[in-house]
Structure 1
Amino acid sequence: MQCVFVQVQCKPGQAYKVADAIALKEVHSELYSTSGQYDLLMKIYIPKDKDIGHYLSDMIFGIEGIERTLTTMTFAAF
């Protein structure tokens, strides 16, 4: 599994709706409300046999109310 973190900036007033939609998809390991430029932060484990871009696009990026995302990939460093 590949671990990625996705920060989500929502359209004004849409953060709770977006969070509910993400939760219903059950693709995340953790989902948090955050302060700052982005409204939500989620941790997702993507199966090794899946293309990361396609997986996120199919599962997350089409959710109504998402304005912008920032994906951070992780690597085994230690």
Structure 2
Amino acid sequence: MNTIFVQIKCELGRAYEVAAELADEFDNASQIYSTSGHWDLLVQFRLEDGQDPGLFVNERLHAVQGIKDTYTIMVFDAFTPGAV
């Protein structure tokens, strides 16, 4: 399982609508946060091994109405405090 974080810029006034659709339609959206600043949402997606993150974002995520822009962050290792 691979994890990506996607920052999402929504059309004005549609952040909560987009967040609700992501929660309903994407089983792999493990965390959805509203944020302040340039981006409206921060979403953690868990992708199956071998699933292409670029295709996922471009074909599935960009198809959601109300999403204006995205910024994808690829992560590699998780560290547990005190275990390093």
TM-score, length-scaled by structure 2: 0.84
1:54 positional shift: 1.1
1:77 positional shift: 7.4
TM-score, length-scaled by structure 1: 0.90
Report the number of matched residues: 78
Q: Where in structure 1 are there 5+ consecutive unaligned residues?
A: none
Identity of aligned residues (%): 38
Instruction: Give me the whole-angstrom Cα distance separating, in 1, the residues matched to 2:11 and 2:78.
Output: 35
CA-based RMSD of the aligned residues comes to 1.4
Q: Where in structure 2 are there 5+ consecutive unaligned residues?
A: 80-84
Judge which range, 24-33 or 53-62, deviates more: 53-62
User: What corresponds to 2:50 in structure 1?
Assistant: 49
* Alignment partner of 1:14 is 2:14: yes
SS of 1:36's equivalent? Answer: coil
Mapped contact 1:27–1:59 kept (Cα < 8 A): no
In the TM superposition, structure 1's runs of 4+ consecutive aligned residues that sit over 2 Å from their partners are: 56-59
CA deviation digits over 1:26-78, x for unaligned, max 9?
A: 22010000000000001111111211111223332210000000000001276
User: What corresponds to 2:82 in structure 1?
Assistant: none
